[in-house]
Amino acid sequence: MSDDALFAWDCETYSEKDTRRANPYACTLINLEKLRKMLNRINNLFPDLKSSDPLPEEFYDKLMNVVEIFVGTDCIDQMLKYLGQYDRKRLILISHNGSGFDNWIVLKNAKKLMHCPLKTPRGILSFPLSNPYTDEDLQKKWKRQKEIKGNYLQHINFTCSYQHESSSLAAWGNSSNLPANLRKIADVDIAIYTQDNWEKLRHEWEPYAKRDTLCLGACLIKYNQVTKEVVNQNMSNNLTAPSLSLKGWYYLYHYDKEMVEEEWYETTRMVAKHTEKENVEKVYSHTNPFIRNFIRRSIKGTRCSANRKSFEMNKMDEICNVLKEYISQSESNNIIDLFKEYSASTKDKTEVHSRLKKIEYTKLMAFDANGLYASAMSDLDSEYPRAESGRPFLPEEEKRICETLQ
């Protein structure tokens, strides 16, 4: 998704005295496309501006005015009403540590849920929402467009940048070399703002809240620019850094990247262009529906493995033959059964290890996948569901198998 459909946002809350429940009193929001254009304009006007230098005060004030702020205990609804007037069917709102805090605030304050949040041990990674405040004229417009299916309410997905950059927002701003007055204000204690004083102290927390959102938006722009140039991906379609690296590897494997010239304001610039490679053996990755199902099941904590029953290579047969020679009494051709017998055997395995290491197995990843994270949870008393078919490897078995194949 392009930057005009991406927003950086944040919410400020106070804790109730008795229940300690967090209640929102303000939300801040900025569109990444609008922010990117303003930052590019500043860079063009001040080409000698160093990363550590603050922005000129007049431009800093303009940036602060670009940040939308919604104040009151109904600030979530105010923000959704504002977005409902925005002419984009799908939007993504990104907050830092949204999985651990901000997304929960939206969940608690959303009046009607039409979609199921993606919750893992990391928190709420994704919280999709159909905007009940979608403008009626926009709904009619989208209804006339044949490529748009389903309901005609605006679709908003709340995600988390902390799954990509696990440092604090202040540290992220520093490592991104943002201008000094765009970095997070670190010396503000937000705990002092309570149900009784947040309204009269607005002059103190409002600059802090807007600055936080500016810092996050600038970090997201830099992050998305780099990842798009390198692997043709950005944060919009990758909930976590591992998923971005998986898809990035896939694109690097299947596509060539070349730099082409395009118009840029009154001059030109070089941008990356990706073209599909020819005569490349296809790899089963996130683009394959079966693998996607495996990943989705594995990420939620179920123990599962994905294995194709037919192989274009005979490497598995070679491995089975080596193991069968070692286990002389075995009649099975099933790789799982052979590994069980091999693991239980107390005979010397030095020769087997040597022969297995000589087998070229680099392409096994093209058709085999195992949920290592999920199978590590194979405690018999675990709260997670049991495997649907067959017994999963215990951690020590899986470790021995991996060591053997290495």
In DSSP notation, 60-106 reads: HHHHHHHSEEEESTTHHHHHHHHHTTSS-SEEEEEETTIIIIIHHHH
Within-domain flag for 183: yes
pLDDT tens string, the chain, 406 residues long: the values are 788 899 999 999 988 877 788 899 999 999 999 999 998 888 888 888 877 788 888 888 889 999 999 999 999 999 999 999 999 989 999 999 888 899 999 988 877 766 888 888 888 889 999 998 999 999 888 888 766 666 788 899 999 999 888 888 988 988 888 888 888 887 677 778 888 889 999 988 999 999 999 999 999 999 998 888 777 788 888 888 878 877 777 777 777 777 777 776 667 766 767 777 777 766 666 666 766 776 666 665 555 555 544 445 567 777 788 888 877 766 677 777 777 788 778 888 888 888 877 776 544 433 334 444 444 444 445 444 444 433 444 445 444 544 544 4
Nearest 10 degrees: CA dihedral of 399, 404, 405, 406? 90
Within-domain flag for 74: yes
Within-domain flag for 290: no
Q: Write out the two tokens for 239.
A: 């909930």
Residue 271 φ then ψ, to 5° = -130, 160
pTM over 0.85: no
What residue numbers bound the domain in which 154 lies?
3-239
CATH number for the domain that contains residue 122: 3.30.420.10
- The separation between the first and the last C-alpha atoms of the chain, rounded to the nearest angstrom, is 39
Within-domain flag for 365: no
Residue 87 φ then ψ, to 5° = -80, 65
Question: Tell me, what's the pLDDT at 289?
Answer: 74
Within-domain flag for 174: yes
Q: Write out the two tokens for 266.
A: 């009154």
Taking the C-alpha atoms of residue 22 and residue 37, their distance in angstroms, rounded to an integer, is 35
Report the DSSP beta bridge partners of residue 92.
Answer: 6, 157
Sole residue written with tokens 């060591």 = 403
Within-domain flag for 265: no
Residues 246, 286: contact at Cβ < 8 Å?
yes
Query: Which amino acid is residue 217, in one-letter code?
Result: G
Residues 248, 238: contact at Cβ < 8 Å?
no
Sole residue written with tokens 């010239």 = 261
Within-domain flag for 120: yes
Question: What is the domain count for the chain?
Answer: 1
Residues 338, 317: contact at Cβ < 8 Å?
no
Within-domain flag for 150: yes
